[in-house]
Amino acid sequence: MNGMVYIMIGGILGLLLGMLIMYLLQKKGAHYEDTRAVQEKLDAYQEQVEGHFAKTADLIDNLTESYKAVFEHLSDSAESLLTEEQIKNQLANRKSREVTIKYLKGSQQSEDTPDSV
């Protein structure tokens, strides 16, 4: 009878140990799935951020080109439509605002005045 008790205790301990191992393996698998789902979300977010900054850079490039085009248009128009005296009068009226015209850069520097008024 003594041997039978040891066999039963060994069987019960083996069963409990097997159940514990299975529980831990399932729990580890669940954590792996959670970790993988979080990693996928992080990867998707990083792609969104990358796309956002790439589009922002493109839009800023477009904005810069548009600003250059407007500035060149104003500069060319000032050269062709206004006399030097008219330009100087307009700039004098706008002393509180910063205005830079490509046409005036050379003449203003020779007169020891700032590039922008």
Across 92-97, average pLDDT: 74
Residue 108 located in a structural domain = no
Domain that holds residue 49: 2-59
Give the confidence band of 115 by pLDDT, cuts at 50, 70, 90.
very low
- Report whether pLDDT(18) > 50: yes
Q: In this predicted model, what pLDDT tens digit does every residue of 31-48 receive, in sequence order?
A: 778 888 899 999 999 999
CB-CB contact of 90 with 82 (8 Å): yes
CB-CB contact of 78 with 101 (8 Å): yes
Residue 103 located in a structural domain = no
Give the confidence band of 114 by pLDDT, cuts at 50, 70, 90.
very low
Residue 101 pLDDT:
52
Q: In this predicted model, what pLDDT tens digit does every residue of 40-93 receive, in sequence order?
A: 999 999 999 999 999 999 999 999 999 999 989 988 888 888 888 888 888 788
Residue 114 located in a structural domain = no
Cα distance from N-terminal residue to C-terminal residue, the chain: 110
Residue 103 pLDDT:
42
* Domain count across the chain: 1
CA–CA gap between residue 79 and residue 75 (Å, rounded): 6
Residue 50's nearest CA partner among 97, 58, 89, 28 is: 58
